[in-house]
Structure 1
Amino acid sequence: MSLEKNKAVVNRFLSEVFNQRNLTVIDEIVDANAIDHYKQGLTLWLILGAFPDFRISIKTMIAEGDKVAVISTLYGTHQGVLMGIPPTHKPVSIVKADIFRIANGKIVEIWQNGDYIGLMQQIGAIDVQRLTYHLQVAPEISNKTQPSVVATQVKGA
């Protein structure tokens, strides 16, 4: 397939499946044996359930060989449960970088990378100031000299 046709497959996947919620085209666009290298559990169903107004805005799309790279921004409002976190109704936006491999006009492999820590921060699931404090204090604690012998009896007892 040409580079433009490969880009069209990915564009169709992002616009029709995600933005238009047309799940009937998945079999036309994604191979039944496609491999998703992202193992963190944020599946399409999880995202659409937690962010029913979720949208993808493609910022950059580059094709080379059988691969298409996409930089995008995801927008939505946290309106459903996300990994046990109840809805906060907070708006979120995160940047993603994905690579799709295309064969025979279908997506056969996907590599995903997104700012999911930023997403969790935006919905209040992660307190960055507290986390930063603990990351700064942890080395100080671990660098303290530990006694080589720990007393097991108190003198005079």
Structure 2
Amino acid sequence: MSKSDNKELQQRFVDECWNEGNTDLIDELYSENYVGHWYLLGGGDADREALKAFIQDVRTGFPDFEMTVEFMIAEDDMVSMGFTADGTHEGEFMGIPPSETESGTAGATPGHLTHRFEDGKIVESWSTWDALGLLLGLGVIPEDLSAALPAADD
């Protein structure tokens, strides 16, 4: 497949899986042997089922979740993109109850996602996101982290 075909698949993943919550599409877009190197609690690699569960968990915590592609670059069999994600914290997410912040949102959270393609399927991915910024924005962690540290003479 061409670089533009791979970019189209990546955009489709964002639009339909993340923004519309259609996790069934993952079985079509991702190889059965998919390996994801990203943000599982407790570490480790993810498979297709773990990816589906993570998207569902995010959309449970943030029902109006929206991922915006900021840029997308394709090279050989890889597509990399920068994104921002936003949504209102109305449900539990990663054990965190709904937000009590005034807006209910942490604001746009940046991240990146890179996919490797083989034969028109996503076979491997790497991703990071600003989890600390999200937790700060939700009020889970104090903005002044130094307040949580023991005094120098303790």
What TM bracket, shorter-length normalisation? 0.7 to 0.9
Q: Are 1:117 and 2:109 counterparts? A: no
Task: Identify the residue that residue 90 of structure 2 maps to in structure 1.
Answer: 79
8 Å Cα contact 2:114-2:127 kept in structure 1 = yes
Q: Could you list the runs of 4 or more consecutive aligned residues of structure 1 that deviate by over 3 angstroms after TM superposition?
A: none
- Per-residue CA deviations over 1:25-54 (Å, capped at 9, x if unaligned) read 221111122111014339212211111110
Shift of 1:82: 1.4
Which segment is superposed worse, 48-57 or 23-32? 23-32
Please give the secondary structure, in 2, of the residue aligned with 1:12.
Answer: helix
- Per-residue CA deviations over 1:74-125 (Å, capped at 9, x if unaligned) read 0101011112211016113200111111111111111011001111111111
Query: 5 Å matches for 1:1-157?
Result: 1-41=1-41, 43-88=54-99, 90-92=104-106, 93-129=108-144, 131-134=145-148, 140=152
Shift of 1:128: 2.5
In the comparison of the two structures, how many residue pairs are matched?
A: 139
Which AA in structure 1 matches 2:113?
D
CA–CA separation in structure 2 for the residues paired with 1:132 and 1:82 = 25
CA–CA separation in structure 2 for the residues paired with 1:103 and 1:48 = 28
Percent identity between the aligned chains?
35
Aligned CA-pair RMSD: 2.0
User: Which of the pair has more CA radius of gyration?
Assistant: 1
TM superposition score normalised by structure 1: 0.80
8 Å Cα contact 2:89-2:98 kept in structure 1 = yes
